[in-house]
Amino acid sequence: MTALPSLRSGTVARITRTTAQIREIVVTPFIVTILVYCLLPLLFFISLFIGRYDVVPSHVILLLAAPIVNLLPADIVHIYPVWSAAEENVIWQIRLPRVIAAVLVGAGLSVAGAAYQGLFKNPLVSPDILGVASGAGFGAALAILLSWNMAMIQVSAFCFGILAVTITYMLSRFYRTTPTLILVLSGIIVGAFFTALISLTKYVADPYEKLPAITFWLMGSLAAVRYSDIVMVVPLFLLATVAILLIRWRINLLAVGDDEARALGIDTKRMAQVIILCSTLITASAVCIAGIVGWVGLVVPHLGRMLVGPDYTKLLPACLLLGACYMLIIDDLARMLTNAEIPLGILTAIIGAPFFAYLLSRRSVGWI
Amino acid sequence: MDMILDVQQAGFRYDLRRMIFSDISFSIAEEEVLCILGPNGIGKSTLIRCLANLNPLCAGSIRLHDRDIRSLNHRDVAKIVGYVPQAHEIVFPFPVREFVLMGRAPHLELFSSPGREDYAKADEAIDLVGIHKIADKPVNEISGGEYQLAMIARALAQEPEVLLLDEPTSHLDFGNQIRVLEIIDRLARDGLSVIMSSHFPDHAFLTSNNVAIMQHGSFMAYGLAEDVVTEENLKETYGVDVSITYSRDVERHVCVPHKSGQCRCRDPQHPECMTAPGVLLQAAR
């Protein structure tokens, strides 16, 4: 007799827990998935309508639909150009590459940031922790100082970004103690060194022409992105992102501890090399088409962790999508807010910093 | 009998100046529990790290099923040896189930994520140590005892043949210490071999068949618990006086420390005992 009530209450408790679990496990990710998957195409589309040059909205739709619809036989349906040549130029040659670049840069920086946070077991790490941004910044500044053309500026930025991280990695090998800590310290050393070189470049640059060019480049912008830039970075970019996504479950083990990961049969040194290589390729590519864009790689992984939890199998895809959305919004604001373009780096920090403070105040990030 | 793990003349040092340990030999068979005792900083953890293939030996050999550990890769070792380190802080709030699931790593290919079967194995391990109630809680919000059990569950999800535990009871309250030891004991009876280090000689009587005392960079004593955990050995190892007596209530040997100054040795060469209050009192009489 006495066993019955306790059994019943146990069953009830179990059922309530299961419902709560179902809500937690199924419903939340479902909403998140829907939100994120729908948000990105929506934002992508909206971003094409936004800009200083007024394009009639119906023209935008027709312009975008034309190449696909016109594949069909002309006697069934055909879209005839009702738009001006300038409109066509703005949409296809300026806005579309710009929007594609925003998606790539946002997604890439977020994935690289999340991977680094796992590798360094530290949620305060951003993709430029190993000095890639300072290195790339110096590469670009030097190229501008030497009056190289746009393509060479990008190549120089990319190469110096890679060089900076290579130096950081060699330096950390040289000391041969606690690997991740010494990597971060080496990153600080190399970052400081290249930041000083940037200052030196600015100091000797012609103050009327080259100094502003360097300064604007360092603040980041997507205004000048062309298809050729995207084509240049896309192969490496995709390769690196896919590589990180493929090993994403194993980043969980790195995030818990190096020793434990090794005891579980993971080659942690090789994993670290792969993550550093891929993240560096992604970040250097992003920097060379968009300039230095801070905060994205720090804030978006936190947002992702709040929405889908710390498991990298879910976190990295979420970061990919959220990062792309975040960057699209930032770039839209950069175009819309004032008559002149606002540099991206300024906006990502002005919006990113208070947003980050808000995220932390929610206390649901799980590590404070 | 087939030895799962066989250690011969093992030696290790971090640098050329100081040997951490040397000339350690022992082996462990199925269902055997070996408890390693010894003072702080003597190299117990280092020895266990060597057995887990985290530090390479400088001398001697470790053989798993008669194959040298150096000829095996990390993944093959991880299928035989499960390692439970000392508790340390984890930054990211992984739920306990995801945390335990990480133990499946040696059984998964490089690019794959755990599947239904792996989740089942993880849940099985969670049930085995009895932490299913906290399976969805973040691992950095559970208590020290629960965390220790979660780490043991993760090692069990690995499906190892030998479990290495580095001071599994440190930082735990009295009740949790006993609970963890009981679980270790049960696992051993179910066929798992266990090597654990401990600070409490009494734990050796609770769970182990074999005990080794590590002192001065080697095993000072190694054998059955009753032969090794003696008053003399513990005095030499820890420099404190204990009594080992058989308790009829719990039907095993127990190790009880003396209150300081109440040593029974009465050795005139032993100044602490001669100046102890009890002795002075006796002298006064």
Range with the poorest average pLDDT among A41-55, B100-114, B182-196, B259-273? B259-273
Chain A residues with CB under 8 Å of B14 CB are none
Q: Give the pLDDT confidence of B209-245 residue by residue, as tens digits.
A: 899 999 888 999 999 988 898 889 998 888 888 888 8
At A54 the three-state DSSP class reads coil
B57, B59, B64, B65 alpha-carbon torsion, rounded to 10°? 170
**Phi and psi dihedrals of A96, rounded to 5?**
-60, -50
Residue B270, pLDDT > 80, answer no
B90 touches chain A (CB under 8 A): yes
Residue B81 has a pLDDT of: 95
Residues of chain A above pLDDT 70, percent = 89
ipTM: 0.85
- Determine whether the interchain pair B98/A118 forms a contact, defined as Cβ–Cβ distance below 8 Å: no
Q: Give the pLDDT confidence of A28-85 residue by residue, as tens digits.
A: 667 667 777 788 999 998 999 888 888 888 888 888 888 888 888 877 778 888 888 8
- Band the pLDDT of A2: cuts 50, 70, 90: very low
Mean local confidence (pLDDT), A141-153: 93
In chain B, which among 54-83 make CB contacts under 8 A with chain A?
A: 54, 73-79, 81-83
Nearest to A222 by CA among A345, A325, A314, A112: A345
- Band the pLDDT of B172: cuts 50, 70, 90: confident
- Determine whether the interchain pair A264/B136 forms a contact, defined as Cβ–Cβ distance below 8 Å: no
Residue A297 has a pLDDT of: 92
Residue A14, pLDDT > 80, answer no
pTM of the entire structure? Answer: 0.87
- Report yes or no: B204 and B28 within 8 Å, Cβ to Cβ: no
Mean pLDDT (chain B) is: 86
- Band the pLDDT of B271: cuts 50, 70, 90: low
* Burial profile A221-252: b = 16 or more Cβ within 10 angstroms, e = fewer: bbeebeeebbebbeeebeebbebbbebbbbbb
Mean local confidence (pLDDT), B249-257: 86
Chain A residues with CB under 8 Å of B79 CB are 265
- Determine whether the interchain pair A265/B77 forms a contact, defined as Cβ–Cβ distance below 8 Å: yes
Mean local confidence (pLDDT), B53-61: 91
- Determine whether the interchain pair A252/B73 forms a contact, defined as Cβ–Cβ distance below 8 Å: no
Residue bearing the bigger pLDDT, A2 or B277: B277
How many CB atoms neighbour CB A35 within 10 A? 14
- Band the pLDDT of A13: cuts 50, 70, 90: very low
B89 touches chain A (CB under 8 A): no
Residue A263, pLDDT > 90, answer yes
- Determine whether the interchain pair A265/B76 forms a contact, defined as Cβ–Cβ distance below 8 Å: yes
In chain A, which among 236-255 make CB contacts under 8 A with chain B?
A: 246-250, 252-253, 255
Residue A81 has a pLDDT of: 82
Chain A residues with CB under 8 Å of B92 CB are 118, 121, 123, 255-256, 305, 310, 366-367
Residue A11 has a pLDDT of: 37
Domains in chain A and their CATH numbers?
Answer: 37-361 (1.10.3470.10)
At A80 the three-state DSSP class reads coil
Residues 6+ apart with CB under 8 A from B148: B84, B87, B168, B169, B171, B172, B176, B180
Query: Within 13 Å and on the Cβ side, how many CA atoms surround B47?
Result: 35
Q: Give the pLDDT confidence of B76-88 residue by residue, as tens digits.
A: 999 999 999 998 8
Nearest to B98 among A246, A264, A311 (CB): A311
